[in-house]
Amino acid sequence: MQKAALVIRSGGLAAFPTETVYGLGGNGLDAEAARRIYAAKGRPSDNPLILHIAYPDEAERYALTFPLYDRLAKAFMPGPLTVILPKREIVPTSVTGGLDTVAIRCPSHPVAHRLIELAGVPIAAPSANLSGKPSPTEAAHVIRDLSGRIPIILDGGPCEIGLESTIVKIEPDGSLTLLRPGGITYDALCMIAPQVRVADAVTKQLAENERPLSPGMKYRHYAPTAPVVLLDGTPEKVLSFLRSEQESRACAILCYDEEVDFLIPRLLFPVGRRENLDEQARTLFRCLREADGTDAEIIYAHLPPQSGLGLALYNRMIRAAAHTVRQIP
Ligand code: TXA
Ligand code: MG
């Protein structure tokens, strides 16, 4: 951690674990470090980075905070929540993708926390994947994507949550817009904020000419080489559909644990038990990476519910599937 902190302080990059996914960090006050991050990821430079701080009240140095920020911070920080606020001068526009707002997050992972403290600067960090790949939830994923492009990766084992942080924006009228669902659920936000609006792009496909509220939402996130199709129907109908598909073609299946015994043991990627959304969130990106590494001609997965943590799963999966849902009658 000392070494990684030194690298970051001197303008270089280090990958590190957080409770959500691995981040690719650089000095958040250094425009040049931000450019290095975009280059290492192959990321378009109008897609802003998240500024990671060690303590919630440090936000004040980099952004204009509001009473609602304090309430959110008290309820959910440190933790998997990112808040968009008007930025202060000190934050370079290369970090914010040219926007006059900045994304602030205070991670709870002890390694992330300590690294920010040791670096002595806020750490700008997107997820540590190559642009277009799923976010890394293990150090091995970071190595596969960024080996040779960055000098240091801290290995903290698999990430506890497995999906990127919830992103909210505090609007000038004091209401809250949910830009990206994550470990802090819509219902949890509603307990703190009087009014929470869900941005259209969370669940719907934006039209070609629509401008998203968050630049990241316009990029076709991760999509494996083989098409991903989400299946919607009763558990029995979907299972027998999968069985018959297995007999006719090479399909990879992100199945529930309890389905394994009823399927042909070939190209199966168990994501967790049907009712266990925490487990599914933890395993989703690893399973997608693994399924993508096979010669399957199609990848099937279940359509997640849109409530609780399901909304975050739904948001990631509907993108991986380019909004392809098949109803099984
Ligand atoms: O859990 C996470 O948030 C992880 C870990 C490493 O902290 N980070 C992460 O970063 O997922 P990234 O860059 O993959 O996603 C950041 C998202 C992007 O979609 C970006 O568009 C959005 O945050 N974002 C950043 N600044 C913004 C701003 N000022 N206004 C709106 N959206 C913003
Ligand atoms: Mg990302």
- Over residues 290-318, the pLDDT tens digits come to 999 999 999 999 999 999 999 999 999 99
Q: Which atom of ligand 1 is nearest to the CA of 47?
A: 21
Instruction: Determine what percent of the chain is predicted with pLDDT higher than 90.
Output: 89
* Residue whose C-alpha is closest to residue 79's, from 176, 188, 221: 188
Report residue 105 as tokens: 């997050």
* Side-chain-facing half-sphere of 173: CA atoms under 13 Å: 7
User: Of the ranges 144-153, 213-222, 231-240, which one carries the lowest mean pLDDT score?
Assistant: 213-222
Pair 151, 13: CB distance under 8 Å: yes
pLDDT tens-digit readout, 158-194: 999 999 999 999 998 889 999 999 999 999 999 999 8
Distance (Å) from CA 228 to ligand 1 centroid: 24
Q: How far apart are CA 243 and CA 328, in angstroms?
A: 13
Pair 203, 219: CB distance under 8 Å: no
**Residue 219: is its pLDDT beyond 70?**
no
Q: Which atom of ligand 1 is nearest to the CA of 24?
A: 6
Mapped onto helix, strand or coil, the DSSP state of residue 73 is helix
Pair 115, 154: CB distance under 8 Å: yes
**Residue 54: is its pLDDT beyond 90?**
yes
pLDDT at 311: 98
Report residue 111 as tokens: 């390694």
Q: How confident is the model at residue 216 (pLDDT cuts 50, 70, 90)?
A: low
Which ligand sits closest to the CA of 215?
1
Continuous segment of H or E residues that includes residue 67: helix 67-76
Nearest CA to ligand 1 atom 7: 23
